[in-house]
Amino acid sequence: MDVAQTTDKVTRELRGAVMLITVDHPPVNALGAEVRRGLLAAIEAADQDPAVHAVLIVGAGSHFIGGADIREFGKTRTPPALPEVCDRIEACRKPVIAAIHGAALGGGLEVALAAHYRLAVDGAKLGLPEVQLGLMPGAGGTQRTPRLIGVVPALDIALTGRHVGAAEALALGLVDRLGESGDTLAEGLAYAQALLASHAAPRRSRDAQGLADVAAVKAALAAARADTAKKSRGLFSPMKIIDAVEAGLDHGFDQGMKTERALFLECIDSPQRAGLIHAFFAEREVSKTPELAAAKPRKIAHVGVVGGGTMGAGIAIAVLDAGLPVTMIERDTPSLERGRQNIEKVYDSLVARGRMTPDAKAATLARWNGSTQYEALASVDLVIEAVFEEMAVKHGVFAELDRVCKPGAVLATNTSYLDIDEIAARTSRPADVIGLHFFSPANVMKLLEVVVPAQVSADVVATAFALAKTLRKTAVRAGVCDGFIGNRILGVYKTAADHLMADGASPYQIDKALRDFGYPMGPYQVSDLAGGDIGWATRKRRAATRDPRARYVQIADRLCERGWFGQKTGRGFYLYPDGARTGTPDPEVETIVDAERARAGIAPRTFTDAEIVRRYLAAMINEGANVLHERIALRPLDIDVTFLYGYGFPRYRGGPMHYADTVGLAKVLADIREFAADDPLFWRPSPLLVDLVERDATFASLNQSFQSK
């Protein structure tokens, strides 16, 4: 047997007449420079060796090839480039077979597409997820895929980045055969033998006929462009994917490859790629916290929820959907019945839309039980309180939980603003008390702020993160303060928006400027959607503690006094005639805004959209710096993830702190100092921001990794 190391990461071995090439680069066989070099050398050797009649490429470990090595992006590129490797594989004069198990993603699928025959075993995941990182396939994915399977499915795969399983891959023609036994190597060798026995020749994807009907392909490309303009507004790489496919259609495979490469390099250099890759890494780091490095989670098999209103019902659904039983407590029987209905309504609508079967609904609801007696919580492992946002009510609930819950049960509050240290201190077990701040609707929104009070034990924090994982939420560690990470920073930049509105920008211009920045909605659309009454109640509660010198814009109060709470009342900042979900600007609101400006003695001025964005973001970044300075967030990436998952911050901009680095912190600080000339109380530069600018440092330099157990 001839076993040769072509590099450390790719081995070749002659199995009869078949050259077995194994990519062995744990954990996912990513296509780093050594793997590319090894593959190139191996295919070259196989092509030259007269003893070799066919080639089989497999991955060692759990995957075929997971994709490019994304840590190489943005660095000097080491040859050979992947397109060169793929072209060489495709050009091989002997049949090349790829046998796929686990992930064949991005460059991994492109290697497989360059092979002449493909086999996949159960559990294989094929896909071109580059688009999710602001990229596009760069090694023939935009050329070989549509030729092989047709333009519509190829664009679907490349524009969504979704994973395709083995059976679907066979149906699409992405693979030729399924390996029933699941033994990739044995199946691959058997396939190679079968091909040799039938004298199968190399069969190149570049020659496949998926683009033959030019008129139909043109129509599909036009449709994809229109759809992408709507769905991927503001994104750079999706249109480039379509451009590359079109170039291959118009000018042939080789020119298509060149265009693809040029566009790929444009994507690599785009700030969107940097933002999306930051988001990708940040979301992996965010779940590693100091507490997780120190402790193991407690076991959670049964969850209690106190309160069946908007949040309690949503939280209960999230827990039920994760397969755990829920016991709900309400203050009286009618409220409990309402709580149950709040949950049932959601499942009924899923059933009505065909997204859930009646049997699955019944099975899910069978895990729910409710009571008006706290004793029903005696055996739960964790309880989440979601009652009215009033300290006295919370104290009453926690006194009951303290009385009935078993030792070691985790006692969590979903409070938005209240002091969790105070809630914990009133119990006999402050080490078990933690904040679990869900976002509305709690069964949909991905973000969960895990709020860590001073006395909580590390294993309770670890438990909260484990629960988040069970609920498929992204958890961010936050410290105790008014509003934690998200709502605290939101309060400040929303105030900056209100100042802009009072000073001359219309709410409609502000919303549009922020939509153009990449938000799905502007702040006044969000306010109309959430209900103006919620913010109004918070403002009234805070009136007594507000700094009397601070500027207070009353426009929203004027609307609320008229009962204009937004969508649910048919008007707010916008008009929603006949239950419309998209609002139209309201001239009466503009009159009210004018009147408020006059009352406050403000001579309105104009703002450009860019100025609006600059002020809104400067307020966000400055308060973000304060939150870091006070250790409410331990790292800038915690703030980034909070805003990406809970507040609609455009993912391709990476989050506010990443964005600040791309603008330049000195520039942000200069903006804040400029704005401070008019309002020094509001625009106070954060000491951390000043310090970073003095040291010529970035927020990124403060990101650190905590190892988990």
Residues carrying an active site annotation: 110, 130
Binding flag, residue 311, ligand NAI (CB under 6 A): yes
Which DSSP symbol is given to 566? B
Residues in 553-572 at the binding interface with ligand NAI, rule: CB under 6 A: none
Binding flag, residue 535, ligand NAI (CB under 6 A): no
Minimum distance of ligand NAI from residue 369's CB (angstroms):
15
Which of the ranges 57-65, 78-86, 160-168, 327-335 carries the binding residues for ligand NAI, by CB under 6 A? Answer: 327-335
Which of the ranges 44-52, 96-104, 265-273, 310-318 carries the binding residues for ligand NAI, by CB under 6 A? Answer: 310-318
Minimum distance of ligand NAI from residue 19's CB (angstroms):
59
308 versus 624: smaller Cβ distance to ligand NAI: 308
Minimum distance of ligand NAI from residue 384's CB (angstroms):
9
* Residues whose CB is less than 8 angstroms from the CB of residue 662 and which lie 6 or more positions away in sequence, other chains included: 271, 274, 275, 653, 654
279 versus 397: smaller Cβ distance to ligand NAI: 397
| Strand (E) or helix (H) holding 232 | none
115 versus 447: smaller Cβ distance to ligand NAI: 447
Which of the ranges 150-158, 324-332, 346-354, 671-679 carries the binding residues for ligand NAI, by CB under 6 A? Answer: 324-332
Phi and psi of 121, rounded to 5°?
Answer: -105, 165
Integer CA distances (angstroms), 130 to 195, 319, 421, 652, in order? 32, 32, 44, 13
Please answer whether residues 12 and 41 qualify as being in contact, where contact means their C-beta atoms are separated by less than 8 angstroms.
no
235 versus 480: smaller Cβ distance to ligand NAI: 480
Helices 609-629 and 687-694: crossing angle, nearest 10°? 100
Candidates 38, 188, 307, 453: give the one binding ligand NAI (CB under 6 A): 307
Tokens of 86: 């793929």
Minimum distance of ligand NAI from residue 62's CB (angstroms):
39
Please answer whether residues 264 and 135 qualify as being in contact, where contact means their C-beta atoms are separated by less than 8 angstroms.
yes
Minimum distance of ligand NAI from residue 642's CB (angstroms):
13
Minimum distance of ligand NAI from residue 322's CB (angstroms):
19
What's the CA gap between 420 and 455, in Å, rounded? 10
Binding flag, residue 440, ligand NAI (CB under 6 A): yes
Candidates 95, 308, 435, 507: give the one binding ligand NAI (CB under 6 A): 308
Tokens of 301: 């098999």
Binding mask 237-276 for ligand NAI (x = CB under 6 A): ----------------------------------------
Tokens of 341: 């209905």
**Strand duo 117-121 + 103-105: pairing:** unpaired
254 versus 390: smaller Cβ distance to ligand NAI: 390
Tokens of 62: 């759990």
Residues in 369-408 at the binding interface with ligand NAI, rule: CB under 6 A: 386-389, 393, 396-397
Candidates 11, 272, 416, 463: give the one binding ligand NAI (CB under 6 A): 416
Which of the ranges 22-30, 150-158, 305-313, 692-700 carries the binding residues for ligand NAI, by CB under 6 A? Answer: 305-313
**Strand duo 382-385 + 303-306: pairing:** parallel
Q: For ligand NAI, how many residues bind (rule: CB under 6 A)? A: 25
Tokens of 488: 């605290």
What's the CA gap between 290 and 613, in Å, rounded? 35
Minimum distance of ligand NAI from residue 332's CB (angstroms):
8
Minimum distance of ligand NAI from residue 313's CB (angstroms):
8
Count other C-beta atoms under 10 Å from residue 534's C-beta. Answer: 16
Minimum distance of ligand NAI from residue 342's CB (angstroms):
8
Minimum distance of ligand NAI from residue 685's CB (angstroms):
30
Phi and psi of 63, rounded to 5°?
Answer: -140, 160
Candidates 143, 414, 427, 622: give the one binding ligand NAI (CB under 6 A): 414
Burial of 150-168, coded b for 16+ CB within 10 Å and e otherwise, reads: bbbbbbebbbbbbbbebee
3-state helix, strand, coil in the chain (%, to 5): 55, 15, 35
What's the CA gap between 324 and 318, in Å, rounded? 9
Burial of 323-361, coded b for 16+ CB within 10 Å and e otherwise, reads: ebebbbbbbeeebbeebbebbeebbeeeeeeeebeeeeb
78 versus 440: smaller Cβ distance to ligand NAI: 440
Candidates 69, 87, 283, 330: give the one binding ligand NAI (CB under 6 A): 330
310 versus 698: smaller Cβ distance to ligand NAI: 310
Looking at beta carbons, which residue is closest to ligand NAI? Answer: 309
Phi and psi of 232, rounded to 5°?
Answer: -115, 45
Binding flag, residue 306, ligand NAI (CB under 6 A): yes
Binding flag, residue 419, ligand NAI (CB under 6 A): no
Integer CA distances (angstroms), 447 to 61, 326, 436, 529, in order? 33, 21, 10, 18
Binding mask 335-364 for ligand NAI (x = CB under 6 A): x-----------------------------
What's the CA gap between 686 and 688, in Å, rounded? 5
Burial of 484 (0-12, 13-18, 19+ CB in 10 A): buried
What's the CA gap between 709 and 213, in Å, rounded? 56
94 versus 437: smaller Cβ distance to ligand NAI: 437
Residue 582: how many CA atoms within 13 Å on its side-chain side?
Answer: 2
Minimum distance of ligand NAI from residue 648's CB (angstroms):
14
529 versus 676: smaller Cβ distance to ligand NAI: 529
Which of the ranges 123-131, 413-421, 500-508, 590-598 carries the binding residues for ligand NAI, by CB under 6 A? Answer: 413-421
Which of the ranges 229-237, 309-317, 361-369, 604-612 carries the binding residues for ligand NAI, by CB under 6 A? Answer: 309-317
Minimum distance of ligand NAI from residue 457's CB (angstroms):
23
Question: Where do the DSSP E strands lie in 151-299?
Answer: 164-165, 177-179
Of residues 538, 189, 214, 217, the one with CA closest to residue 390: 538
312 versus 624: smaller Cβ distance to ligand NAI: 312
Count other C-beta atoms under 10 Å from residue 405's C-beta. Answer: 24
- Mark out the alpha helices in 562-680 (DSSP H runs): 587-599, 609-629, 636-646, 656-663, 665-676
294 versus 529: smaller Cβ distance to ligand NAI: 529
Residues in 677-706 at the binding interface with ligand NAI, rule: CB under 6 A: none
Candidates 312, 370, 430, 636: give the one binding ligand NAI (CB under 6 A): 312
Tokens of 703: 């990101």
30 versus 436: smaller Cβ distance to ligand NAI: 436
Q: Residue with structure tokens 């911050």?
A: 649
| Strand (E) or helix (H) holding 246 | helix 237-251
* DSSP string for 53-72: -EEEEEESTT-SB--B-GGG
Tokens of 285: 């780091």
Q: For binding to ligand NAI (CB under 6 A), which residues are involved?
A: 306-312, 329-331, 335, 386-389, 393, 396-397, 414-416, 437-440
